[in-house]
Structure 1
Amino acid sequence: MGWWQPGPSDKAFPETDDPKAALLSLRSPLFLVLGEDGKPQLRTYGQAILGSVLSGENSLPLLAFVPPLPPENLGSRDFLRRHGLKYPYIAGAMANGITSEAMVMEAGRAGGMGFFGAGGCTLARIEKAIATLKKAAESSPFPFGFNFLHQPGSPEGEMALAQLYLNSGITSVCAAAFMRMTPAIVLYRVRGVTADEKGRPLPKNRIIAKVSRVEIAEKFLAPPPEKILKQLLSQGLLSKEEARLGALLPMANDITAEADSGGHTDNRPAMALLPAIKAARDAAMAAREYTHIPCVGLGGGIATPASAAAAFALGADYILVGSVHQACVESGTSDTVREMLARCGQADVTMTAAADMFEMGGRVQVLKRETMFALRAQKLYTLYREYPSMEALPEDAIRFLEDKIFQKSIAEEWESTRRFFMERDPSQLKRAEEDPRHHMALLFRSYLGQASLWAIQGNPDRKVDYQVWCGPAMGAFNAWTKNSFLEEVSERRIRTVAFNLLAGAATLTRFSMLKVQYPEIPAHLGNFSPLGLNTLEPMMS
């Protein structure tokens, strides 16, 4: 390859005899040289001279060279600039406030970005989170956003959420569970768009869309549907100029390819999904002249430095992490759930019926260890499919519902369900009066929805019914942290986890570069074990 020789920067990069320490020096170059003793040595100083001509005194044969790779250089710099981040790292929105205000703050202050888990929350709860995060960002600004969850059964609720975000000045959302564009998400995207000096659209509001299907990605990579723009214009919700400029925008600034995640998921393999969505992005760019290129990130299954490195190697512009963060102390769940997650293995998860898309057969990935929720939720969906109404259920099914599921009479459960929907969405009650099967669905959804709240609250009387959204990544994280300080739940903090994943990804990427050039390098040097913040922070800055 060439030669290595001491250079003028020697003092800036002190030599180390520890090859592991050299690999961890992410801001220093790596030189693999053939030492005077005939053995390979890793050095972090000097200079490389490419070519076969001996280049002076004290030169040593150069076996491999790897440039510095600070963690902020992983992924896309366009993505970092667009959202004001230091690192290409997103704390994904987990519903019911599991991605809490504290988690969003810490993610932003650590150099990434967090999205508050607004799904399943009342507008009042979301307003409270907005106020908390805005106040926290006044003295020490940090980027943050909110989840915008599609509500297929409640377009009015979805529009109310859009209006809340617009009126509150929330300019970044993570759009999830959408299968088509709706007036609410189009309104959010287009409201406030202006033109630059060349007449190109400048959107005020940014959308990071989370999708697991190419056809949905294509909808977010396309401009808003003309029909919806005309509808919003006729309703006075958009100006003519906003509608005109909005037609020149892609619906999303960025797309997250959601692979095998916790909660709602299509269990897509990341190795197939990310390249397919990147190809869809490239096709959209070829067909339209957008001002900015949408970035494509990867979420679902990212829980270790190796999986993070694989995501970036596959071409991810950023990574989105979810399940592992639920086990962190800043998450908005209970200590009981955090302990349960810490005992989770990769095979301790399963798919079962979802509360928010129950009638459509929607499914979520949940923890199955130490809880019977998955089995009971699936039983409810089976009853819903097989019987037209509550009155048609056999006696043993009624006993099962009253003794195991509701732990009260069906009449009592319906009364609490009725009160819930009277506050959240009264139109559902009107449908239930007209449709006995919808009445049954609301009752069953009541259990499914409460099961996640019991877990968040740590209700000891309903532990067997805890609904804990979780993917197999949680088991991978537990295996990686075994016998380290991160095995302890109290040590699992989002900054520590994020820095380990990013620094680990950079370290493993550099090791791969070395191995390609010098295959004989010992494999054990490619192991990255959990590090504490005292070690990580100098690597990150």
Structure 2
Amino acid sequence: MPRDLTSLPTDLPVWAAPMAGGAGTPALVAAAARVGGLGFLAGGYKTPADLVAQIARVRATGVVFGVNLFAPNPVPVAPDAYRTYARVLQREADRYHLTLPAEDVTEDDDAWAEKLALLLKAPVPLVSFTFGLPHPDTVRALQSVGSLVAQTVTTPAEALAAAETGADLLIVQSAAAGGHSATLTPARPLAPTPLPDLVSDVRHAVPLPVIAAGGIATPAGAAAALNAGAHAVMVGTVLLRTHESGASAPYKAALADPAFTDTTLTRAFTGRPARALRNRFTDTYETVAPLGYPAVHHLTSPLRKAATAANDTELIHLWAGTGHRRARAEPAADTLTRLATGG
């Protein structure tokens, strides 16, 4: 049978969000737990073998933690739009002697079945989903092996749908969040509802515990979400420059670079809305990028990797929430405790 939130030994109401792509390391997850919070490993983009290895590293520390998976919710790309975008981006790829996969559309499911199977075989305390809703049978299977199940939602309607799957708790994400939006309808514009209001709206719609996320970067921001009824808050962007973060050096530097003044919602990098530091890539390609996830993600991935290696921050996906200026180069424990206590 599933446990409830009281079974999680957490007394710090500030948790570390899952950050796919390398930023969310086992060390960061462990650091969050050691100060009384909770951290998530990001299963997204990892191979099942890599996820198993990271879970083993966190287990070895003896802390309680969660694992986040991308639940399938594909946004098929229009083939003509994909090919057109590939041709437009090839001029950027030429600078790095790359040939983008203009004819090979990749529409995978991020090894969904394999990752789910490994979490059923070797359960973790908490499993969360984003992008899509798992089948109720999947939720029940995870609960039957002792895992709590959380669903990331962005609206009260999504919260109601999540409750129908049998989820134990909700992660309520506002549009101010850095990185990908968890929206179940990526073709629709995101509502700019302030996080405390969104938490209140969801709590009025669904009687499930809420973890609040999106744009939290100050003690006042954390307190506002908690006062609106959240059990805890979850932060990601403010942890990107911490010692335990696995973010690349150019990524960390960009977060503190005064040349990067704004964030923007963009689908240019992955074909799905995500908040990033505004740079030349977002300015140039947002208006021509098609919807299409994961196809656009796979299309641009070689270019983004090459740009990162070359320290070309004008072409990197610099995921960042609206509070990115508050990110500090310090131990993650310092960031988390400051947000919780104001110290």
Q: Same fold (TM over 0.5)?
A: yes
Q: Which residue of structure 2 aligns with residue 182 of structure 1? A: 134
Measure how far apart 1:308 and its partner are.
Answer: 1.2
**Partner Cα separation in structure 2 for residue 261 and residue 192 of structure 1:** 27
1:472 aligns with 2:310: no
Q: Which residue of structure 1 aligns with residue 122 of structure 2? A: 168
Where does 1:20-419 land on structure 2 (aligned, <5 Å)? 79=5, 81-134=6-59, 136-137=60-61, 141-153=62-74, 154=108, 157-178=111-132, 181-183=133-135, 186-191=136-141, 193=143, 204-222=146-164, 224=165, 251-259=166-174, 260-265=176-181, 266=190, 267-282=192-207, 294-343=208-257, 347-353=261-267, 356=270, 358=271, 362-368=272-278, 371-378=279-286, 380-381=288-289, 384=290
Q: Does structure 2 conserve the Cα–Cα contact (< 8 Å) formed by 1:454 and 1:463?
A: no
Where does 1:418-497 land on structure 2 (aligned, <5 Å)? 442=295, 444-450=296-302, 453=305, 458-460=308-310, 462-475=312-325, 477=326, 486=328, 489=329, 492-497=330-335
Q: Which residue of structure 1 aligns with residue 90 of structure 2? A: none
Q: Does structure 1 conserve the Cα–Cα contact (< 8 Å) formed by 2:251 and 2:313?
A: no
Describe the SS at the equivalent of 1:152.
coil
**Partner Cα separation in structure 2 for residue 501 and residue 278 of structure 1:** 23
Q: Does structure 1 conserve the Cα–Cα contact (< 8 Å) formed by 2:41 and 2:67?
A: yes
**TM value normalised by structure 1:** 0.51
**Partner Cα separation in structure 1 for residue 323 and residue 168 of structure 2:** 27
Describe the SS at the equivalent of 2:231.
coil
**Partner Cα separation in structure 2 for residue 308 and residue 103 of structure 1:** 19
Q: Which residue of structure 2 aligns with residue 501 of structure 1? A: 339
Q: Does structure 1 conserve the Cα–Cα contact (< 8 Å) formed by 2:268 and 2:286?
A: no
Q: Which moved more, 1:89-98 or 1:152-161?
A: 152-161
Q: Does structure 1 conserve the Cα–Cα contact (< 8 Å) formed by 2:15 and 2:336?
A: no
**Partner Cα separation in structure 2 for residue 163 and residue 355 of structure 1:** 30
Q: Does structure 1 conserve the Cα–Cα contact (< 8 Å) formed by 2:197 and 2:228?
A: no
**TM value normalised by structure 2:** 0.78
Measure how far apart 1:104 and its partner are.
Answer: 0.5
Measure how far apart 1:261 and its partner are.
Answer: 0.3
Unaligned runs of 5+ in 2: 75-107, 182-189
For each residue in 1:321-364, what CA deviation from the matched residue of structure 2 results, as whole angstroms up to 9, or x when unmatched? 111111212111112211211236995111111555x2xxx211
Measure how far apart 1:107 and its partner are.
Answer: 0.7
Alpha-carbon spacing, 1:313–1:322, altered in 2? closer, same or farther (3 Å): same
**Partner Cα separation in structure 2 for residue 312 and residue 98 of structure 1:** 26
Describe the SS at the equivalent of 1:463.
coil
State the percentage of identical aligned residues: 23
**Partner Cα separation in structure 2 for residue 174 and residue 345 of structure 1:** 35
Alpha-carbon spacing, 1:170–1:193, altered in 2? closer, same or farther (3 Å): closer
Unaligned runs of 5+ in 1: 1-77, 195-202, 225-250, 283-293, 386-437, 479-485, 505-530, 532-541
Q: Does structure 2 conserve the Cα–Cα contact (< 8 Å) formed by 1:298 and 1:320?
A: yes
Greater RCO structure (CA 8 Å; 6+ sep): 2
Q: Number of residues paired by the alignment? A: 296
For each residue in 1:463-492, what CA deviation from the matched residue of structure 2 results, as whole angstroms up to 9, or x when unmatched? 3211111111113x26xxxxxxx5xx3xx2
Describe the SS at the equivalent of 2:286.
helix
